[in-house]
Homo-oligomer: A and B are copies of this chain.
Amino acid sequence: MAIRDDVIKMKQVSPYMAVSDEKIRNGALLAVADALKAHQDEIFAENKKDLELAKANDIAPAIAARLKFDEKKLKDVVSGIRQLTKLADPIGRVTLKRELDENLTLTRVSTPIGVIGVIFEARPDAMVQIASLCIKSGNCAILKGGRETANTNRILFRYIEEAVTAAGCPEGCLLLAETHSEIDELLSCDKEVDLLIPRGSNAFVRYIMEHTRIPVMGHADGICHIYVDKAADQDKAIKIILDAKTQYTAACNAVETLLVHRDIADVFLPRLYDALKAEKIKLRGTREAGAILKKYQAEENAFEEIEVDEFKEYLALIVSVAVVEDEDAAIAHINRYGSHHTDAVITEDDAAAERFMQLVDSAGVYRNCSTRFADGFRYGFGAEVGISTGKLHARGPVGLEGLVTYKYRLCGDGQIVGDYATGKAEFHFRDIM
């Protein structure tokens, strides 16, 4: 059967999921935690199949490590689920209560978004976390994980879905999509799916954004900048740059571009060069940066000269560098060439820091710390479904709050607009909370 039929059913189920009691949703989460523990050997066995296939396909060990679902990862996701049950209910929150007139009361109340499609990378723990966030927030979810963990996804989904419906959530509130053709089908379900959250490569997210009329939350590029101000503590700068580039080079919040204030470039760039070289990080950048390094460096050809509009997201041990005239030039560069993800200033000057953080138009603006902090866990959100570089709805790491919307409820006693238009009745607007 085509997944579209299941998605149409899910749309009909979604209002019932949306009104499911908090106790049922938290009970469902605890049941998921118990089920995963009870069936752990079976789950590990399926995961082993995926790992063996990965080995047979010569998948790099760094990537294979992410495919693994072992006792440690199970323990982490189970503890994450239990923490989630303790968080306040994100739905049913009244954010406005206003008497428009006698017996005419307007209430704004938070509600689930409805039907959410999440397409995520091959990481079994991501599947559990995303499903849990959707259940907690009363959303129905279509889950599509990376094919490298197809066996693990299938068994995890089976036990999650069983536990959730046994706990009282409506049948059909979760769906597993397994094939790539199902993604294309999903993209055309714009009447049924309220939100798509794609995670993965730049090209993949762009493909999703360009091939659907469903709202998409996420990010394609992650071109994060670190601007080293003339008032920077240069030791801090080097330490932060190395962390932001090497701690997880393939992450969207890894640094890709360094901007250095001209006043300190002569001193800082050679120091930077040495530090990067020790970590096998290649340096590319503008002619001016190259000229400074040329004066200094011993080796030839260790610096590749490129134009600023060639600066890009490397996701590798390469970093672009430009010398900038002043802070405003750094800000203009970031706003123009950046991806509005996360950008940092290194400075001991409070005014310069404030100016940077005010004027840089990104989801995250940082002072004197690594761009790698841009993450739902590190922000204390418990978990994240993704990171948004869009400005509407949710920005930056997206946790439970990003999975709800609201509706306006208006309760009257026969009121008509005609009476207010003719002056027979008058609004008095009194907030009652």
Chain A residues in contact with chain B, CB under 8 A?
A: 11-12, 14-16, 18-19, 98, 100, 104, 106, 113-114, 194-195, 209-210, 213, 215, 217, 233, 235-236, 239-240, 242-244, 247-248, 331-332, 335, 353, 357-370, 372-374, 378-380, 390-393, 395-397, 405-418, 420-421, 427, 429
**Residue of A358, A359, A373 most packed against chain B (CB within 10 A):** A373
The list of the 9 closest CB pairs from A to B, nearest first, reads: A369-B412, A243-B416, A372-B417, A380-B429, A392-B393, A236-B414, A393-B393, A15-B359, A369-B415
Whether A379 and B239, one on each chain, are in contact in the complex, defined by CB atoms closer than 8 angstroms, is no
Whether B405 and A15, one on each chain, are in contact in the complex, defined by CB atoms closer than 8 angstroms, is no
Whether B366 and A195, one on each chain, are in contact in the complex, defined by CB atoms closer than 8 angstroms, is no
A42 to B402, CA, bound (A): 48
* Identity of the chain B residue whose Cβ is nearest the Cβ of A92 in the assembled complex: B358
Question: A100 is contacted by which of B19, B233, B378 (Cβ under 8 Å)?
Answer: B378
Interface of A is mostly: mixed
* Identity of the chain B residue whose Cβ is nearest the Cβ of A413 in the assembled complex: B368
A353 to B413, CA, bound (A): 12
Whether B418 and A243, one on each chain, are in contact in the complex, defined by CB atoms closer than 8 angstroms, is yes
Nearest-CB distance from A114 to chain B (Å)? 6
With A242-B416, A364-B407, A367-B412 given, name 4 new contacts (CB 8 A): A100-B379, A215-B391, A365-B407, A369-B416
Question: A411 is contacted by which of B335, B359, B367 (Cβ under 8 Å)?
Answer: B367
Whether B379 and A408, one on each chain, are in contact in the complex, defined by CB atoms closer than 8 angstroms, is yes
Given contacts A362-B407, A395-B407, contact A100 B414 (CB under 8 A): no
- Contact residues in B for A361 (Cβ distance below 8 Å): 14-15, 18, 114, 407
Whether B417 and A373, one on each chain, are in contact in the complex, defined by CB atoms closer than 8 angstroms, is yes
Whether A417 and B380, one on each chain, are in contact in the complex, defined by CB atoms closer than 8 angstroms, is no
Given contacts A359-B19, A408-B396, contact A233 B414 (CB under 8 A): yes
Given contacts A396-B408, A405-B392, contact A414 B369 (CB under 8 A): yes
Pairs A–B under 8 Å by Cβ, sample size 28: A12-B335, A16-B359, A100-B373, A100-B379, A100-B380, A106-B379, A114-B361, A195-B392, A210-B213, A215-B215, A243-B418, A244-B417, A247-B418, A357-B409, A361-B407, A364-B407, A365-B409, A366-B410, A367-B412, A369-B415, A369-B416, A370-B416, A370-B417, A372-B416, A373-B412, A374-B408, A391-B405, A395-B406
A407 to B366, CA, bound (A): 10
A380 to B365, CA, bound (A): 34
